[in-house]
Chain A
Amino acid sequence: MTITLLLLLLLSGSFVTYFSGDKWASKIALLFSILACFVSIALLINFQNGADLNYNAIWIEIPKIYVAFKVDGLSMAMVLLCTLLTPLIVLSSFETNFKNAKSLYALVLFMSFAMVGTFISEDGFLYYIFWELALIPIYFIALLWGNGNSDERKKAVIKFFIYTIAGSLFMLAAFAYLYQKAGSFLLSDLVALNLSNEEQFWIFLGFFMAYAIKIPIIPFHTWQANVYEKSPSIGTMLLSGIMLKMGLYSVIRWQLPIAPNAAKEYIDLFIILSLIGVIYGSILALRQKDLKKLLAYSSLAHVGLIAAGCYALNQDGLSGAVAQMIAHGFVIVGLFFAVEIIERRYQTRMIDQLGGIRTMTPKFASQFLILVLASVALPGTYNFIGEFTVLYSLSQIDVLYAIFGGTTVILGAYYMLKMYQNVMLGESNKTPFKDVSPTETIVMILIIGFLLFFGIYPKPITSLIEPSIIEIVSQINR
């Protein structure tokens, strides 16, 4: 059994969903995503028992391109993030009726397929194809099933699409140059290259353009809030929960090992840039009127901190970044789902039109509050483990960085609690709020359960990713 099984399953799931028709599409998609989830857990068990899950075959002779998949703890963790979240995301939209549902769910599975491919590709060219493939489904999902004025939406989504593609071109150029030097796209070959500092600088920059837009790092974030707002919730969840992490993962997997000297030379610059995102995102989140936009800016702040952890280049920075990616993936999907739950009932996401929901639905209020608290990294949630480790890594470089990054501890609590207060608390809202349904509850409970369990006992994840992180750190410091 190799990791290709998972890819094939997701891809075939996508086709089957498409041909199953609108009525069955959501159920078939759920079935396949759950299957994929089980398969990935089975793969994890095999992996931990030392089985070889890698796949390697030559794809094209000239230029030399391999179909090479390699699994280590890091990619395993990211694959699991993707396959655990996909069923939750599919299930979360069960109560929404989409027109042309078969295409939508087929695209969701296809996107999952492409993202898993990105996380496991060992060959740079293959990786690049998956990287771009992942963009297509989200483009259509946002464009065709999104909300709001269709012209504005089109504008926002096309901007996003071109923007990310444009960024990726720089990465492609970097790969092309690397191929010309190494004669292959294999990561191991690229890492082994003896690049001069100047070469590393340009390669680093090429990767950076692609990743900074995807993550996003300030000032390349301007697509984010608009696209989050315009996309249907299912798209926003895919984007914020998993796709953002593609960029961050790639920093750790490709950018840093290939061009470590550039990273080291400009370490302060990139940390500061990331930290500006933390503060800027937090401050902008304070006064947003639309819940989705507020969460978009909170995401900007959180991924800023993750990026800072990545660019801290030490073991704690990287492992904290991975932990925080997973934690953020779950919590942001949960939060966007909470917004979706509210929007289903009130047809609005405007904070000033909401309020007083808690009296009518204490259960949902508690679930939402736990997610809010996880998002502000209360100890006992997995988010705390990530945030703590990242901030600790920053403090090793300069305590000032930890303090600036740590503003999220204060500002995060400010904008999240303020939002919660305005949306949920206060005098009872006049419009009745239908209590959360069983499917809605299941999704919320699973997400909360995950965050609390690993908050108390993070060891399984830590020991899964630790060996790969140590290896990558040693590559950086070679």
Chain B
Amino acid sequence: MNQNLILLLLVFPFFGFLFNVFFGKKLSEKISGSIATLSIFIPFIITCYIFSFLLSNPEAVKIDFFNWIQVSNFSLNFGVLLDQLSVLWLLFVTGIGSLIHLYSISYMHNDENFHKFFSYLNLFVFFMILLVTGSNLLVMFIGWEGVGLCSYLLIGYWYKNQDYNDAAKKAFIMNRVGDLALLIGVFMLGYHLKSLDYTTIKTLIEAGALDNQEILISSIALCLFIGACGKSAQIPLYTWLPDAMAGPTPVSALIHAATMVTAGIFMVTRLNFLFDLTPFVQNIIAIVGAITALVAATIGLLQNDIKKVLAYSTVSQLGLMFLALGLGAYTVAVFHVITHAFFKACLFLGSGSVIHGMHGEQDMRNMGNLKKAMPITYVTMLISTLAIAGMPPFSGFFSKDEILLTAFHSNIPLWIIASLASIMTAFYMFRLLYLTFFKDFRGSEEQKKHLHESPILMTLPLIILAILAVIGGIISLPGNSWLNNYLSPILSKEVHAHHLGTTEYILMGLAVLGGLIGIIMAYFKYIKSKYTPVSDAEITGFNKLIYNKFYIDEGYNAFIVSPINSLSNFGREVIEPLLSKTIYLLPSFIQKMGNEGKKAHNGSIGFYLFIFVLALVSITVYLFVIAQQS
């Protein structure tokens, strides 16, 4: 394959970024936005080409550009690795990325920093491409931190609002907790294998380089997993993601639903040969994933902010993906990553369309009956909601069912937790749908007058994503999975598809039934009975606990953030002056002698002190020298 072609994958988004940084301000929105969109769409075309090439020729392509980092026992190239996994990720990163760029042209219309938004978005895609194509862990880490930076910039995009800035900062710092763990894992891996290059470490590990070092393998895998927890918002590092909804909605769709937050899953899948060696860490991953799925789904049940519901739903779905990873079902996790990218991007963009139509309103208590005014938004969101609720034949049904199936075969408690989370998902997603699109309109008269369907630039991506949300399941149909075959070269363990027997069909039926129960419950609660919005202050009891997200943020503040800040104050007020006094004892003794000298002469104290010390120095030297000579 042509090396330059691959380089173009990175060049286009990067130059798109530079272009909008330097010239965007002078250009019209149309030109600035189109260039940014093209900078992502062209790489999508290239990716399609590479993908078709890879289908006929399943050999991975590895290209090194130059020697980057060198330490004592290994050196790393700045290079890319294009194989089944990275190209798959590239496809939906650039594909969904293009759609979201297109959508943003209309969504961000008349924003004062329009060009900046697009430059950040391009930069994000650039780093995301680097993250998935990097040929070693450190190039991935550039992308990893780079997307974190863009996430920071875009969450705090409306930087005049300090709450948004707080959310941006929180996302960055919380991610850094994971990053430190990731780095530690990288250090241990690098030290013991003398390389961080994927192909090299894969060969080494498969050849048994880490055999019989269970503690080492487990620590490495655990550290890497903690890193993944940060980026992919798993317990205990998930609280940044709901706050990240402060950013413009297309950002939430692209970064905080479809692409960046799946980086952790990408990394674990990429290093499947390592994680396969440590059942201990795999168990932890599965448990953390399942619990995250359940906790986030619980919180999602009662949120009133339309984007917050989607955010918790994302955390919950990511949890399900980690559950699959922990069970060693990498293909299943990747499958859900892809279908989730379709329907969740569609849902976020749909919510953006709603927010756009409602002139910035995000509280579902003030919505209702939007399906008449916004039919396209309604239908596309309905399809995606059915998909996420796991209703056949939508894509989410297949991927979620695979996860549940895998869980059932390995660990019944985890299956129960995941099923519960799924039922809740169906409930809160239909709650969202009902509150937004059904019954009476609850907003202001002003809002009602201006209600409108979004322009074509916004609805077109919605329609495309909704179609994908419907048909996305075909890439891995039960019993005949294309994805399994496709991904088999990058997996070290053979994937055996589930045999479709009676148990499987019963489980499928149960899953659908569970989803239906959730939907019906939502129907009775929000359609059949009268819905009266409850203000924040009126929420009491257990509901209040859930509504306030189990007070996890407050806990982090009370037990981590505040103590550090108090310590800082204590250091400034108490420790520093104390140290200053004690440590100066010696010099002040000298100074006292200096002051004696000052009495004898009048003039610059500094000069005399200097002479004094110089004399002292000379005398010392001279004494030693004399002693030496005699």
Contacts and interface: CB of A to CB of B under 8 A. Distances in A.
A371 to B, nearest CB: 14
Given A287-B565, A287-B572, A421-B166, 13 more contacts: A161-B610, A162-B590, A169-B620, A222-B580, A283-B571, A284-B568, A287-B569, A378-B146, A399-B219, A407-B180, A410-B176, A417-B169, A425-B165
Nearest to A178: B624
B579 interface: yes
A354 interface: no
Interface stretch (A24-32, A235-243, A339-347, A455-463): A455-463
Given A392-B71, A421-B169, A172 B617 contact: yes
Contact of B159 (A172, A177, A425): A425
Contact of A403 (B184, B571, B617): B184
Given A402-B187, A414-B173, A283 B567 contact: yes
A135 to B, nearest CB: 9
B565 A159 contact: no
Contact of B146 (A379, A403, A428): A379
A158 B184 contact: no
Interface centre among B152, B190, B628 (most CB of A within 10 A): B628
A180 to B, nearest CB: 5
Contact of A425 (B162, B180, B568, B614): B162
B571 A139 contact: no
Interface pairs A-B: 9 shortest CB-CB: A176-B624, A395-B187, A287-B568, A222-B580, A286-B568, A379-B142, A315-B72, A162-B587, A425-B159
B610 A136 contact: yes
Interface string A212-251: 0000000110100100000000000000000000000000
A172 B160 contact: no
Q: Is the interface of B mostly helix, strand, loop or mixed?
A: helix
B621 A413 contact: no
Interface in A361-393: 373, 378-380, 385, 388-389, 391-392
B72 A316 contact: yes
Interface of A: 62-63, 125, 132, 136, 139-140, 143, 157-159, 161-163, 165-166, 169, 172-173, 176-177, 179-180, 183, 219-220, 222, 225, 280, 283-288, 314-316, 319-320, 356, 358-359, 373, 378-380, 385, 388-389, 391-392, 395-396, 399, 402-403, 406-407, 409-411, 413-414, 417-418, 421, 425-428, 456-459, 462, 466
Interface stretch (B61-69, B102-110, B508-516): B61-69
Given A409-B176, A410-B173, A421-B165, A399 B567 contact: no
Contacts of A169: 613, 616-617, 620
Q: Is the interface of A mostly helix, strand, loop or mixed?
A: helix
B191 A396 contact: yes
Nearest to A385: B69
A162 B183 contact: no
A456 B138 CA distance: 12
B179 A286 contact: no
A173 B620 contact: yes
Nearest to B78: A456
B162 A426 contact: yes
Contact of B141 (A177, A288, A379): A379
A378 B71 contact: no
B1 interface: no
30 contacts: A62-B625, A157-B606, A158-B591, A158-B605, A161-B609, A162-B590, A166-B586, A169-B620, A172-B621, A176-B624, A179-B625, A183-B628, A219-B579, A219-B583, A285-B568, A320-B71, A359-B160, A378-B145, A379-B145, A380-B145, A388-B69, A391-B187, A396-B191, A403-B184, A406-B184, A409-B183, A413-B176, A421-B169, A457-B66, A458-B70
B624 A163 contact: no
B621 A166 contact: no
A171 B341 CA distance: 64
B609 A162 contact: yes
Given A143-B606, A413-B173, A222 B71 contact: no
B576 interface: yes
Interface centre among A159, A180, A425 (most CB of B within 10 A): A425
A283 B563 CA distance: 11
Contacts of B614: 132
B549 to A, nearest CB: 22
A407 B180 CA distance: 8
B7 to A, nearest CB: 15
Interface in B614-630: 614, 616-617, 620-621, 624-625, 627-629
A166 B590 contact: yes
Contact of A426 (B68, B159, B610, B621): B159
B564 interface: yes
Interface string B214-230: 00000100000000000
A284 B572 contact: yes
B430 interface: no
Interface centre among A220, A286, A316, A457 (most CB of B within 10 A): A286
A222 B576 CA distance: 7
B188 interface: yes
B579 A172 contact: no
B177 interface: yes
Contacts of B613: 162, 165, 169
Given A158-B591, A173-B620, A287-B569, A392 B160 contact: no
B517 interface: no
B156 interface: yes
B38 interface: no
